[in-house]
Amino acid sequence: MSDYSNITTAIVRETRAREKALVLMNDKCRSRFLLQAQRTTKVCLFFHGFTATPEQFMPIGEAFFQAGYNVVIPLLPGHGIAGDWDGDNPPPLPEEQRVYQEFGLYWLEQVQALGEQVVIGGLSGGSTLAAWLALERPHSIHRALLFAPYLSNSNLLVDFIVKILPIYFQWRTEEGAISYGYDGFVMPALRVFMDMGQDILERVKTSIAAAPCFIIGSDSDRAVDENENQELYESLVKLQPKCWYYSFDKVFDIPHNMMTKAEGNEYQDLVIAVAKAYVDSDVTWKEVEEIAYQMLFQGKTCDAIVQELGLTSRVAPDLQILISLLDKSTIVAKHHSES
């Protein structure tokens, strides 16, 4: 067997042994490995959301796998474990940042053997962990996809409850949607990610480096504070000009759990497309806006603009999808202010 085959076999075997000892709720809770026959140019490491399971990242994982990349979606600590969980017996979710951070560092080290460049990503709490890694190990990460990072809640009362009260909260799932993983949790388990998020917002102001990050939000998301996500982007882009930020318009009604149709996002494929546009491109957000301006207001094709700007080898086909979603008035105002 090749070194690559030995490494992948060992990673999968050791992970399966650990998870077998935990006794999981079902097979969909297991860590997922979508692995090519050989080491790839890129390997994706995705962290699912708080209380959820790896199944949440299978649609985007399969899309990147079909694009020729390796994909690893590990089960977060304390998640997916079988039990009769309720307010008197809450699920065993970690209540210390260190547990998640050590977990993230472990998997970042593991996947480096599977691809030349590492792409990390996550949703909500998993996104917060990915953002922490982007600051902690910037030179080990090619791109970071931050889907609705949880830095704090959009509701100040909820923020207060999360910080102060040790109550048990049960998720309310929208009609017709499913919820992966646990039905509820105690607030101190969620406070871990809020504290990590606030630490990130302070740390990024004094950091000297960050991995390129794409923050992807939704104007319909009622679970996170989009202003803080914008604040994070503005700090990140000063460190790394290849950081991007985009929030889906309310017309799409994309919920906080944006990764799957099963969880209520009918535009799952749009989320995947804009993520692929970032991973497969190598341009700054300013260059994206320039391409968009010339397409929208000068009548040029994307291919013609890219060629004129000398960006042919640095722009992914999916970038046109993202550009079609951008707000025209914002692009004009930005262009005029910089002219």
Kindly report, residue by residue over 66-111, the tens digit of the pLDDT.
Answer: 999 999 999 999 999 999 999 889 999 999 999 999 999 999 999 9
- pLDDT reading at 336 higher than 70: no
Lowest mean pLDDT among 52-56, 168-172, 236-240: 168-172
Average pLDDT of the residues in 140-152: 94
- Joined together, the tokens standing for residue 88 give 């008197």
pLDDT of 161 > 80? The answer is no
The confidence band for 224, taking pLDDT boundaries of 50, 70 and 90, is confident
Percent residues over pLDDT 90 in the chain:
77
Mean pLDDT for the stretch of residues 40-69:
97
Cα-Cα-Cα-Cα torsion 194, 208, 48, 74, nearest 10 degrees, comes to -130
Closest CA to 216 of 101, 131, 103: 131
Q: Are 245 and 215 in contact (CB under 8 A)?
A: yes
pLDDT in the model for residue 339: 58
Higher pLDDT, 144 or 194: 144
Residues 141, 21: Cα–Cα separation, whole Å? 31
Residue 41 contacts residue 83 (beta carbons within 8 Å): no
CA distance 71 to 230: 28
Say what the pLDDT of residue 1 is. Answer: 57
pLDDT band (50, 70, 90) for residue 40: very high
Question: What is the pLDDT at residue 299?
Answer: 81
Confidence of residue 164 (pLDDT cuts 50, 70, 90): low
Mapping DSSP to helix (H, G, I), strand (E, B) and coil, where does residue 47 land?
strand
Residues 46/63, Cβ–Cβ less than 8 Å: no
Residue carrying structure tokens 């998870």: 19
